Structure 1
Amino acid sequence: MGQSWVKTETAGCDLGDERLNRRLGAILEALGERPGKSLPTAFQDWSNTKAAYRFFSNGNVSEHRILEGHFAASALRIQATSGPILILQDTTEFNFKRASPEKIGFTHVSTGQKLKDGRRKKHVVCGFQMHASLAITPDGLPLGLTAAKFWSRAAFKGTAALKRKINPTRVPIEQKESMRWLDNLRLSTELAGSPERCVHVGDRESDIYELYCLAEEHGTGFLVRSCVDRLAEDGGTTIAKVMAEVQASGTHEVRFRDAQGKEHCAVLSVRYAKMTVCPPIGKQRKYRHQELQIIHAEELNPPEDRAPLFWKLITNLPVGCHAEAVNKLEWYALRWKIETFFRTLKTGCRIEELRLATADRLANCIALCCVVTWRVTWLAMLSRKTPAADPAAVFTADERYLLDQATPERKQHAPRDLEFYVRAVARLGGYLDRASDAPPGTTVIWRGFSRLVDLVEGARLARPPTGTCG
């Protein structure tokens, strides 16, 4: 893939030492060429592998400083686009098995297979969480991460016990893990530079009243799925009671796949209304009431073999007609893109197979893998949205030549555009490329890149040395 993308994603990084900056670029390039491979396989020899280990353990290196360049590049891509920017927020957890789990952080004790004496084998699982914000366009093209936070649950030890003693709504937001949603909203809005263009999208875990107020303070938008039936209007009723009296504005059809990959089609009845939403009882003196739009989309005639779809969305964006309500439903459906990002990060880069010993070293490596994951996801979507784009912006001349040679004869007539070469890479990763197949996804693309770099290296070694004859 060349080094141009590596320079773009690391140009804004300053680790305080030019040697560290160069090593950062070299490590990112190696991981990008062989995503999913072990660190020794990615770096090819002991000296480079040892240099990478030293880099990850260096006290001047942190996940935030590693991602600074990528955040800056994401901001440039946001500024180069027009229209709304959807900023998807979500949390994922990384679990590891270690002989010394205290070096990473405890998560839980796992019960395994039954032993000969009838007891269950138990082992301590350690790990930490990452909360990320991914900026995408309304047609699904990922522009990059805008914020990321790594932490261990130990930092919030005692919060659950505190909630059992007092009303959870009275616990200050600063003492909760939920604070990460507010932090990422603020950081992402500042990075984008155009708060009025940003729409922060989150699942039910982001249904936080403080987030509504922070979005108003920064002049930015939000679209979250509700999990709380909040007080509404003058406080004498609730959102659910008000929405029960609202007539449906129309229907909306959605298509999705279940956990087994089976495709489904659901017809949703759509209702929307504008109302005053009240803060929680314990915080009514601190926060003012909000004028928000409520959208309910409930499935009509759901099948018996699965749970019916019922989306309850809250937003501060204008919703004045059925088309605008459907538009917000379509935006919320794109939240799945960050789930795909996390899946590619975990399975494609095989994060949970890393053998680094401490949480800091793991976080540094994961930060680099986040950039690689974005690159693969971006390329998969770019080939769908702009298939006729110039492939020279992504592939080197040697890579294009080798992909041409690896293309089956029945595919040779296709134009040599970006889609052609992305499909060629995907075929190296196991993509069948039949007429009825969906466009290639991230899994076959990152597998294909691992094979492509070996083809490039083999071709380089097969060339006669410069200055020799025959």
Structure 2
Amino acid sequence: MVDRQSVCVRRLAGGSRGRIIGFSRFLANRRVTTQSLIEGWGSTSSQACAGHHVLAIQDTSEINFTTTAEHRRGLGETGKGGNVRGALLHAMLALDAGTGEVLGLVSGQIWTRDGRVETPHSQRLSTEKESQRWLATADAAKGVLVRAAMVTEVSDRESDIYAKWDRVPAPNFHILTRAMSDRLIEGGKLSAAKLQLAGEADVELRARPGRPARTAHLVTRFGQVALKRPQNSIETGLAKTVTVSLVEVLEVGAPAGAEPIVWRLLTTHTVQDPAMAWQVVAWYRMRWTIEQFFRTLKQQGLQLEDSQLETAERLMKLTAIAARAACIIMQLVQARDGASAQSAEIVFTPAEIDTLQALVPKLEGKTALQKNPHPPKSLAWAAWIIAKLGGWDGYPRSKPPGPITFRHGLQYFQSIAHGWSLRDV
């Protein structure tokens, strides 16, 4: 998938009927489960995250597949309506908290809805709701990220669940979430909390659907609050209050017609000074990376939603595999500037790394500017080689290689790697 930038089984098979049948049998095999594929995400991420302060960012995306009224492919409803049915992908992506580099996928869930639930939301326990994914994924991450120096789980408003605040935090496992509403706290509401001024700053906001990119003038305040258990909760065993830090971010002078930024960020990190308050804001802003991950998986990359596989079971397995491929594509693009300290082993097999090493003398020039500047067998070193194979000239002053260059380089490399594997036959 990384090589061909596609999830189409016919394209992946390269025209070979035998490989088409092989891929199809793999997806149909009952011993190959969606859950086991998801558990495999963390096998390389665990090592990559060791010793890092990890931002474990989680979010959900709808994977919509076109169906007809007569042929739903076993898929349930999503939010699109009409003849669109699909699956839901909930993923947790690990980033280095200092550099923002993608360390890998951690955990998640993939499911399709089986009809509509008639029991009112307020009368169901968290384990009986789709929202359980926020707690379950965070709990699964604790095992994968056990070697991390620290973990900060980052998520948006939908995950602002009181049971999560009470049950998920652990030593060196923190939560950072944007408040869903003006929550009840001891002494009133979040909007009325007594806070200290952290200062003002101009921040570049990225473009998003319905909002063009702009420079926002933000005012930030911080303090400590005690969240109160919701009065209508039917959950048992929850504490009456949970003490957290509140970092409030308000935009001043927003352009006419634009919705001003109002973020109330809740975190289990202790925020005692302005520097830490702004650090919390910076960590939260890294959440955009998982949105880029979903774009790489869908419209701007692998085009997962175009798959014509016939059954929901196979589509969900394909989604789990494609998620890993999308993560690798992001890591390769990030590594192009040499900032990544990750090993090439997180993407390439030992045999492929041997092939890369054999290619270096052929791709390097005579001058220092034409040498691979990165540590041998690092991901940045491998990305330099793949970019050269894709047509990049290698000069620092040139435009950095993009996804298309990497795609061409990977296609060329796969042919070379296959030939290299036959050298002793």
Fold-level similarity (TM above 0.5): yes
Pair 1:351-2:351 in alignment = no
Q: 1:448 matched to which residue of 2?
A: 408
The structure-2 alpha-carbon separation of the partners of 1:240 and 1:404, relative to structure 1 and needing over 3 Å to count, comes to: farther
Whether the 8 Å CA contact 1:107–1:125 is kept in 2: the answer is yes
Q: Which amino acid aligns with 2:271?
A: V
Q: 2:179 matched to which residue of 1?
A: 226
Moved over 6 A (4+): 387-393, 400-407, 427-438
Structure 2 residue matching 1:323: 3-state secondary structure: helix
Q: 2:377 matched to which residue of 1?
A: none
CA distance in 1 between partners of 2:31 and 2:342 (Å): 40
CA distance in 2 between partners of 1:352 and 1:415 (Å): 40
Q: 1:178 matched to which residue of 2?
A: 131
The sequence identity of aligned pairs, in percent, is 24
Pair 1:242-2:193 in alignment = yes
Aligned with 1:276 (options 222, 226, 238):
226
The structure-2 alpha-carbon separation of the partners of 1:50 and 1:455, relative to structure 1 and needing over 3 Å to count, comes to: closer
Q: 2:317 matched to which residue of 1?
A: 364
Query: 1:370: Cα distance to partner?
Result: 1.6
Q: Counterparts of 1:69-148 in structure 2 under 5 Å?
A: 69-79=40-50, 81-82=51-52, 84-99=53-68, 100-107=71-78, 124-138=83-97, 139-148=99-108
CA distance in 1 between partners of 2:212 and 2:386 (Å): 26
Whether the 8 Å CA contact 2:363–2:388 is kept in 1: the answer is no
The structure-2 alpha-carbon separation of the partners of 1:440 and 1:299, relative to structure 1 and needing over 3 Å to count, comes to: farther
Structure 2 residue matching 1:416: 3-state secondary structure: coil
Whether the 8 Å CA contact 1:388–1:417 is kept in 2: the answer is no
Pair 1:35-2:5 in alignment = yes
Query: 1:332: Cα distance to partner?
Result: 0.5
Q: Counterparts of 1:166-315 in structure 2 under 5 Å?
A: 168=122, 170-193=123-146, 197-216=150-169, 220-234=173-187, 237-243=188-194, 246-259=195-208, 263-283=213-233, 286-288=237-239, 289-304=241-256, 306-315=258-267
Q: 1:58 matched to which residue of 2?
A: 29
Whether the 8 Å CA contact 2:390–2:406 is kept in 1: the answer is yes
CA distance in 2 between partners of 1:190 and 1:156 (Å): 33
The structure-2 alpha-carbon separation of the partners of 1:345 and 1:319, relative to structure 1 and needing over 3 Å to count, comes to: same
- The Cα offsets for residues 20-47 of structure 1, whole Å up to 9 and x where unpaired, read as xxxxxxxxxxx33222262212112000
Query: 1:254: Cα distance to partner?
Result: 2.1
Structure 2 residue matching 1:258: 3-state secondary structure: coil
- The Cα offsets for residues 253-283 of structure 1, whole Å up to 9 and x where unpaired, read as 3223213896432221010110211011113
Whether the 8 Å CA contact 1:295–1:314 is kept in 2: the answer is yes
CA distance in 1 between partners of 2:399 and 2:281 (Å): 24
After superposing the two structures, state which structure 1 stretch, 367-376 or 288-297, moved more.
367-376
Q: Structure 2 regions of 5+ residues with no counterpart?
A: 375-379
Query: 1:432: Cα distance to partner?
Result: 10
Structure 2 residue matching 1:283: 3-state secondary structure: coil
Whether the 8 Å CA contact 1:319–1:325 is kept in 2: the answer is yes
Structure 2 residue matching 1:357: 3-state secondary structure: coil
CA distance in 1 between partners of 2:343 and 2:129 (Å): 47
Whether the 8 Å CA contact 2:59–2:155 is kept in 1: the answer is yes
Query: 1:449: Cα distance to partner?
Result: 4.3
Query: 1:428: Cα distance to partner?
Result: 7.5
Pair 1:153-2:106 in alignment = no
CA distance in 1 between partners of 2:158 and 2:264 (Å): 13
Q: 2:383 matched to which residue of 1?
A: 422
Q: Counterparts of 1:335-414 in structure 2 under 5 Å?
A: 335-346=287-298, 347-384=300-337, 386=339, 396=353, 413-414=369-370
Q: Which amino acid aligns with 2:200?
A: T
- The Cα offsets for residues 363-422 of structure 1, whole Å up to 9 and x where unpaired, read as 111211122111111222233353698879967566678799889x9x993331355863
CA distance in 1 between partners of 2:182 and 2:391 (Å): 47
CA distance in 2 between partners of 1:371 and 1:389 (Å): 16
After superposing the two structures, state which structure 1 stretch, 354-363 or 415-424, moved more.
415-424
After superposing the two structures, state which structure 1 stretch, 293-302 or 313-322, moved more.
293-302
Whether the 8 Å CA contact 1:34–1:449 is kept in 2: the answer is no
Greater radius of gyration (CA): 1
RMSD of aligned C-alpha atoms? Answer: 3.6
CA distance in 1 between partners of 2:10 and 2:167 (Å): 45
After superposing the two structures, state which structure 1 stretch, 146-155 or 417-426, moved more.
417-426
Whether the 8 Å CA contact 1:268–1:298 is kept in 2: the answer is yes
CA distance in 2 between partners of 1:416 and 1:452 (Å): 19
Q: Which amino acid aligns with 1:414?
A: Q
What is the number of equivalent residue pairs in this alignment? 407
CA distance in 2 between partners of 1:390 and 1:224 (Å): 31
Whether the 8 Å CA contact 1:389–1:417 is kept in 2: the answer is no
- The Cα offsets for residues 53-80 of structure 1, whole Å up to 9 and x where unpaired, read as 011011111112123333122122222x
The structure-2 alpha-carbon separation of the partners of 1:187 and 1:353, relative to structure 1 and needing over 3 Å to count, comes to: same
- The Cα offsets for residues 295-326 of structure 1, whole Å up to 9 and x where unpaired, read as 11112222225322222101111100000001
Structure 2 residue matching 1:213: 3-state secondary structure: helix
CA distance in 2 between partners of 1:231 and 1:389 (Å): 44
